[in-house]
Structure 1
Amino acid sequence: MEEKVHQIQGFSFQNGIITGVYPASPSSWLIVVVGVMSTMYAKIDPSLGIIAKINRTLDTTGYMSNQTQNIVSGILFGTGLWVALIVTMRYSLKMLLSYHGWMFAEHGKLSAGTKFWMALVKLFSRRKPMLYSFQASLPRLPVPAVKDTINRYLESVRPLMDDEEFRRMEGLAKDFAFNLGPRLQWYLKLKSWWATNYVSDWWEEYIYLRGRGPIMVNSNYFAMDFLYLSPTTLQAARAGNVIHAIMLYRKKLDRQEIKPILLMGSTVPLCSAQWERMFNTSRIPGEESDTLQHVKDSKHIVVYHKGRYFKVWLYHDGRLLKPREIEQQMQRILDDDSEPQAGEEKLAALTAGDRVPWAKARQAYFCRGKNKQSLDAVEKAAFFVTLDDIEQGYRKEDPVRSLDAYAKSLIHGRCYDRWFDKTFTLIVFKNGRTGLNAEHSWADAPIVGHLWENAMATEYLELGYSEDGHCKGDTNQNIPIPTKLQWEIPEECQEVIERSLSTAIALADDVDFHSFCFDAFGKGLIKKAKTSPDAFVQLALQLAHYRDMGKFSLTYEASMTRLFREGRTETVRSCTVESCNFVRTMEDPTESNENKLKSLRLAAAKHQHLYRLAMTGAGIDRHLFCLYVVSKYLAVDSPFLKEVLSEPWRLSTSQTPQQHIDLKKNPEMLSCGGGFGPVADDGYGVSYIILDENSIHFHVSSKISCSETDSHRFGKNIQKAMVDIMGLFNLSKNCTK
């Protein structure tokens, strides 16, 4: 075990140096120093007198000969020159990466200037980068001008308000832009100069960690398994391979061997900061605010099965357990017929209910003795695993109900069989199907998606299974059996657990979830229609929502700001004047096909423009959110900001990117992506993944308690809207499927 810790520390130190000097290399120091020494021996002074000054300073010490002084002076100057070159290269790369004009270029048409810019970026970053190599070279997120944000905001709400409402809001907005706005902006600008990112720390604290309601359903999200493919039906075997694959990913992460994600033909890097807390991390409840606890390394996982908690060491004899050995450990847990201790079975309901009761219970009952040791084991585990005792996943004979039940199980389960505070819980069902439930505060869905796709590909393409469904390799009886965690949970704590469980069950039972695969067409046909696949889906959602609810609603589409250091997300307000015009045109039987196509093109172009603005730091909502936080710090009221931040997102949408699995090579590895719960009590949450040329998977959520919404009805409206829009192009008979 100690050997592994030293190895990780060694890699961290080595990688820290390599990353710290990027875009230069450690070996370039030797080249610069040798170059300086060579010119000195040739009686040429490359330092314009600096080396002579260093020499005179060293001469006063009286400890060195003249020759040693010359060598030391040359090395010191060479090192200084090398550092100056690194700083210059890094600053130059940062300036280059601050240019985002390429985002707004017409698809497939790059100007000579953009091509020259790309060549310069590649020149500065030609060395093989590690995961965190670009971090110091990424630009800071810019603070938009208040007037620009206000104008964009007013434009976004225009289609949602009548003339009188809009005039009132326009008055509030202009008053804010003229009076309070500039004062708040000054403080925000000040913060942007000293903070790495002016949004991210406040976003994490106020949107996630200070939330006092349940994080289950409201914040946590999930990722699904392959849609049709079932590599093995043996629960322990599937757990063995997937856990091993996840640990191989962690090993790459520790060594920074995961490649940074690059856009624009592998040119422009995205921020990698969110990977740092993926493993060995847990959300810790507090009475006013939660915190994230991250430990450097963890050699174990905690597994939950039938109400019992087991600590499983993943290393033996200084090495990672092989898949068959992990399978053996999982089988030992499945075969264990011991009963849960008092209060143990439903303990994790504390993580599913309100945060304050959990914080108080943790302080009162889990800060000493057995309970502290056992809770430490859970919170400091690499990640959490649930061996579920029910079967889930797609069933051909009942596709609708099976996928809906699968999604609900992943997002909340029984409310006490996932540890919702861990960065992620791996869930392995009785029939070998898997999935993840992920906590949201530490990172956004694309980061978890990258891990999950990588683990799925490693498990299926590299590790594989024997003919009888077991992991490949041999068992090892020398490995100590999993340790059953010990708890002493008093009755008063059990009462708190039951109350949290009641809160969680009420929330879970209210979730109306519909998960379905749309296979009439995919991005192949959409691209033939010369339309952005994301814009196409977003316009289909606008049309479907209008048909479903009979009105337009404020729409949230998640975009990322990882072109900037420590960037997270921004909102694209997808309901625009142009999208509303398109929907009305589509619904008007007197309108010609030509007009419908024209309004579609205008709406799609507008959507793409808004998406690009959001990605390049010119979004609306994060800026307004931060201005609101500043107003709270200064204890000044803003009627405008208060109203803006209280507006409900009745349609909240997000696209899950396909990042790692090549479906052209392995079409059977079609996955379902992931989903999340509804953001508004009377609204919909929609997640979608544009999988391949022929399919898009949707996850629709709403609340059963709302009489206006119905996830299955909305799902049918989405499918019809997709087909109706594609029908405008007359591209293929398949789109009537």
Structure 2
Amino acid sequence: MWRVVSAKHQSCYCMVFASQLQIPTLSKCCSGVRLYSATSDEREYLHRSIVPTYHFQKSLPRLPIPKLEKTCERYLKAQLPLLSSAEYANTETIVKGFLQGDGTVLHEELVAKDKNNKHTSYISDLWFDMYLKDRSPVVITHNPFMVFNNDPKPEYNNQLLRATNMVVSSARFMKTLNKEILEPEVFHLNPAKSDNEKFRKFVRFLPQAISWYGAYWYKAFPLDMSQYKRLFNSTRIPRKSKDELYTDETARHLVVLRKGNFYIFDVLDSNGNIYPAEDIMSHIKYILEDSAPIPEYPVGVMTTENRDVWADVRTNLVNSGNEHLLKLIDGAMFALALDDKHLTDPNDISRSFLHSDGINRWFDKCFQLLMSDDGVACVNFEHSWGDGVAVLRYFREVFKDSTEKPQVHPTTKPSDANSSQRVQRLEFKLDGATKEAIKQAKTKFDKKTASLDLQHLEYQTFTRKKCKQQKLSPDSVLQLAIQLAYFRQTGKTVGTYESCSTAAFKHGRTETVRPCTVATKRMCDLIFNSKTPPTVEELQQGLKNCSEMHQQLTREAAMGKGFDRHLFALRHLAEDSGKALDLFEDPAYKKLNHIILSTSTLSDPSVLIGGFGAVVPDGYGIGYAVEDGRLGFNITNYPPATDINDFLKCCEHSLDDIYDIFNGRVPSKRS
């Protein structure tokens, strides 16, 4: 349920401080870059920032721990639209007892612990542990995917061409990052004032210990970039009870998957320079033309398994003489997976890039660059090391660089790079136990993916522009549509999750926005439960109330003033001391955190489609887009507990209802 940080959530960073500055409107986030004039630099790097990449890290503000009273207040507000009067009264009593007793003791312990760990945030280690100790498979539920828009030049949407260009652009990004000349992530509240050369020259000469304050003086807000260090050359290694994050900063090679086989070749030479693009093209062509069949026992399937099961099998692989092969995969820059399928249908695209058949994948890798036979490209990334801020930056930069400055073209010929010698196919030694484990893993994975349903909706009756014209938050409109859809389908309100990045703080991770509010519940009642038809004025005011409340919740979350992470940390402290507290045993707490509607917005000009799996058997995984030209939902579920086709129709009807209200009409109660 912890999703990729979206463009919308990046725009929320400004809210961290905008409320303190009392600035009601927000400008877009800009990462200005300057291309260096030297030819060698232009070949090796995306750009050369005059401000070092991690210049602001030391002086980033620390993630605040909310006041316990405010956390309890926000928690109760989130419960209000979900509980009956009797249930709410009981939960309110439990919360009061928590606030007056154990909660205060735990809060003081958390504050003291935070003061002794000023190098990080109070949530960081707990959040890493949450992922790394989870024994469930990473695929579907945890690993999200984002699909690139096609290259604007159709002739470049060729698997060999696009893979080569994206590998070169990825290497350029990696080198720019490693040399620490990648432009720092900075939110410019007033780009005209700060997104310029004068600002950069000013902050570059400030000591790192005070650099953030200099940016703040310009009303520019640097963001945490600590997660970037795991973006390349990293993988999640299965271990018993708790997995390990591994990074090999010295590795210069790429791992390529083709028909379940693994190949490696160096992308950088011994001096750290990128090999000629024609050489890389030659190596990829060699792999595409290799006649090796799909292995009878494809090792990549093991990354779809339970983590303890996979840990045992990996140990056996190491003991069977495969340790050096695993290290080559673990330390590779990233994984490039080349598929055979043509992909045109959105549902086929989603299935292929969310899970596929598990054979031509290594889901433990920091990220996988996946590419269909017809050049549709995607990033699927492992989630424990980060929340998507770094991935989305990589995604945008590589899309821009590979489409605007392609290194190979339709007329480019692969070089005579002796690929048969420079490309190595990895040959695993498998004993009987490992073969049986792979066979069982494939059977389980096939059963799991067969149980998953997935559907996509494109909606164009109104778009982001219409929401803005109504002076409403586009994100709040889509979240309201989701609430209306579920209420239309079931007559219920349920626990809903929307992630919001707290990257404005040192080692910030995410906070939860709870989109099911008293305002959205009121709209559901007005449309579906009113004994007399509501007036247009009531409904339009209801839309405004939903938008204002959602924006407030998003602002609080981005400022580190939500309640979920605070309670999460307190619950772990209680568990560590062996305490079973009424608050965390309350059925209402468990119900709130049984995420029926897990949502994330994936709106960005470079993103075609994105998504993730439902996080509970009776829920929906809802990726949605809010753009100037379209609205869209990409939804997953596990039937028969839920009906995705009916839910999708309800989403469309809800958007129609909202459109009616925009245009001064009372919605009809569509079935």
TM-score, normalization: structure 1? 0.77
Corresponding residue number in structure 1 for 2:626: 690
Whether the 8 Å CA contact 2:139–2:354 is kept in 1: the answer is yes
Corresponding residue number in structure 2 for 1:678: 614
Residue 205 of structure 1: how far off its partner (Å): 0.6
* Alignment pair present for 1:475 and 2:428: no
- Pairing partner for 2:125 from 188, 198, 201: 201
| Change beyond 3 A, Cα 1:317–1:157 | closer
Corresponding residue number in structure 2 for 1:641: 584
Structure 2: which 5+ residue stretches go unaligned?
Answer: 1-13, 28-48, 192-219, 666-671
Residue 439 of structure 1: how far off its partner (Å): 0.4
- Pairing partner for 2:433 from 492, 498, 516: 492
- Pairing partner for 1:714 from 647, 651, 658: 647
Q: Please, which moves more after superposition, 643-652 or 591-600?
A: 643-652
Whether the 8 Å CA contact 2:277–2:407 is kept in 1: the answer is no
Q: Give distance in 1, aligned partners of 2:437 and 2:26.
A: 59
Q: Please, which moves more after superposition, 606-615 or 430-439?
A: 430-439
Residue 633 of structure 1: how far off its partner (Å): 1.2
| Change beyond 3 A, Cα 1:340–1:717 | closer
Max Rg structure: 1
Residue 481 of structure 1: how far off its partner (Å): 3.3
- The one-character-per-residue Cα deviations of 1:118-141 (angstroms, maximum 9, x if unpaired) are xxxxxxxxx953321111111111
* Alignment pair present for 1:726 and 2:670: no
Q: Say which SS state the counterpart of residue 136 (structure 2) adopts.
A: coil
Residue 503 of structure 1: how far off its partner (Å): 2.1
Q: Give distance in 2, aligned partners of 1:571 and 1:152.
A: 12
| Change beyond 3 A, Cα 1:265–1:585 | same
Residue 420 of structure 1: how far off its partner (Å): 0.5
- Pairing partner for 2:326 from 360, 375, 378: 375
Corresponding residue number in structure 2 for 1:353: 305
- The one-character-per-residue Cα deviations of 1:12-68 (angstroms, maximum 9, x if unpaired) are xxxxxxxxxxxxxxxxxxxxxxxxxxxxxxxxxxxxxxxxxxxxxxxxxxxxxxxxx
Q: Say which SS state the counterpart of residue 539 (structure 2) adopts.
A: helix
Residue 699 of structure 1: how far off its partner (Å): 1.4
Q: 1:331 is matched by which residue type in structure 2?
A: K
- Pairing partner for 2:140 from 203, 217, 229: 217
Q: 2:134 is matched by which residue type in structure 1?
A: G
| Change beyond 3 A, Cα 1:454–1:719 | farther
- Pairing partner for 1:538 from 471, 474, 479: 479
| Change beyond 3 A, Cα 1:298–1:642 | farther
Q: Say which SS state the counterpart of residue 320 (structure 1) adopts.
A: coil
Corresponding residue number in structure 2 for 1:75: none
- Pairing partner for 1:324 from 255, 278, 284: 278
TM-score, normalization: structure 2? 0.84
Calculate the aligned-residue CA RMSD, in Å: 2.4
Q: Give distance in 1, aligned partners of 2:351 and 2:144.
A: 11
Whether the 8 Å CA contact 1:675–1:699 is kept in 2: the answer is yes
Corresponding residue number in structure 1 for 2:639: 704
Corresponding residue number in structure 1 for 2:245: 292
Q: Give distance in 2, aligned partners of 1:380 and 1:526.
A: 46
Pairs aligned (count)? 592
| Change beyond 3 A, Cα 1:252–1:518 | farther
Residue 673 of structure 1: how far off its partner (Å): 3.8
Q: Give distance in 1, aligned partners of 2:614 and 2:442.
A: 20
The within-5 A match list for 1:262-661 is 262-263=186-187, 264-266=189-191, 267-316=220-269, 318=271, 319-339=273-293, 343=297, 346-367=298-319, 369=321, 371-392=322-343, 394=344, 402-463=345-406, 466=409, 469=410, 472=412, 475-478=415-418, 480-587=421-528, 588=530, 590-643=533-586, 644-645=589-590, 647-658=593-604, 661=605
Q: Please, which moves more after superposition, 346-355 or 360-369?
A: 360-369
| Change beyond 3 A, Cα 1:580–1:231 | farther
Whether the 8 Å CA contact 1:104–1:609 is kept in 2: the answer is no
Residue 367 of structure 1: how far off its partner (Å): 4.1
Q: 1:223 is matched by which residue type in structure 2?
A: M
Q: Say which SS state the counterpart of residue 728 (structure 1) adopts.
A: helix
| Change beyond 3 A, Cα 1:505–1:184 | same
Corresponding residue number in structure 1 for 2:100: 178
Q: Say which SS state the counterpart of residue 98 (structure 2) adopts.
A: helix
Residue 354 of structure 1: how far off its partner (Å): 0.6
Corresponding residue number in structure 2 for 1:32: none
Q: 1:526 is matched by which residue type in structure 2?
A: C
| Change beyond 3 A, Cα 1:235–1:578 | same
Q: Give distance in 1, aligned partners of 2:140 and 2:304.
A: 9
Whether the 8 Å CA contact 1:97–1:138 is kept in 2: the answer is no
Whether the 8 Å CA contact 1:557–1:573 is kept in 2: the answer is yes
Corresponding residue number in structure 2 for 1:248: 172
Q: Say which SS state the counterpart of residue 218 (structure 1) adopts.
A: coil
Residue 223 of structure 1: how far off its partner (Å): 0.9
Q: 1:575 is matched by which residue type in structure 2?
A: C
| Change beyond 3 A, Cα 1:697–1:103 | farther
Residue 227 of structure 1: how far off its partner (Å): 5.8
Corresponding residue number in structure 2 for 1:107: 25
Bigger relative contact order, structure 1 or 2 (CA pairs below 8 A, ≥6 apart): 2
Structure 1: which 5+ residue stretches go unaligned?
Answer: 1-95, 110-126, 395-401, 662-669, 733-737
Q: 2:252 is matched by which residue type in structure 1?
A: K
